[in-house]
Amino acid sequence: MSKTEVVVYANPELLAAAVAARLVTRLVDVQAARGSASLVLTGGSTGIAVLEQLRASPARDAVDWSRLDLYWGDERFVPADDDERNEKQAREALLDHVPVDPARVHAMAASDGAFGDDPDAAAAAYAQRLAENAQPEDHGNVPAFDITLLGLGGEGHTASVFPESPAVYEKERSVVAVRNCPKPPPTRISLSLPAIRRSRDVWLMTTGAAKADAVALALAGAGEVQLPVAGARGARRTLWLLDKTAANKLTKVYRPPTA
């Protein structure tokens, strides 16, 4: 049965360092048990800060990077060399500095890539990539990711699934093209909520008072149509990793001891 846990850190810097340490431990444990592991990356300031902390950590070499499959939860549909691309940011922060297997780095297509400026074709191609990598024991067309890292917006979006958008209603497709996003860039590719829920663990990371309402509403059981992050749950565990300001509207029911 899936469980939800909340950990609160004193500040964003401590959160990023602690999440990086957690990530090393979890990946090493999974690789020891099964030989390889899978991780879904996120963009945003917190997600990239975690990767930078991981790059700087001496413990990073405990991970066998050649036996790690890397995916993305969403991507800005911009040219490959655009600084807003999550893939480019992740490579600069970490991936260019560790011995990953290029064949196991599963990036979403750019707007100047093989599918041209067609986000629907790019989304379909990524869905096909996921289906090809799913194992029989995954019982579906999406791998059972070991960890999915996600952030969230103040209005409650996660990945690029925004409140009351077509993407939040998606039940069949694992990857969707997203247009007219309320924050730039307007066109993106995103895992759907059902695909996110295939992950064994979902780690939701956020900082700042602007996120406090969304955090509190999600943990109080808000509906995913109005608050998509409420629908981002791990099959095994959903772990909320917050700084004090993002957690400051949680009730005593939800607030754990500060870690």
What domains can be seen in the chain, in order of their start residue? 3-243 (3.40.50.1360)
Interatomic CA distance for residues 42 and 148, integer angstroms = 8
Predicted confidence at residue 235, as pLDDT, reads 97
When pLDDT is averaged across residues 69-76 and rounded to a whole number, the result is: 98
Give the pLDDT band (50/70/90) at residue 258: very low
Predicted confidence at residue 255, as pLDDT, reads 43
Q: Write down the pTM of the prediction.
A: 0.95
Q: Give the tens place of pLDDT for each residue, 173-232.
A: 999 999 999 989 999 999 999 999 999 999 999 999 999 999 999 999 999 999 999 999
Supply angle C-alpha 189, 22, 208, rounded to 5: 60
Q: Give the tens place of pLDDT for each residue, 122-180.
A: 999 999 999 999 999 988 999 999 999 999 999 999 999 999 999 999 999 999 999 99
When pLDDT is averaged across residues 93-119 and rounded to a whole number, the result is: 97
Average pLDDT, the chain: 95
Interatomic CA distance for residues 241 and 49, integer angstroms = 13
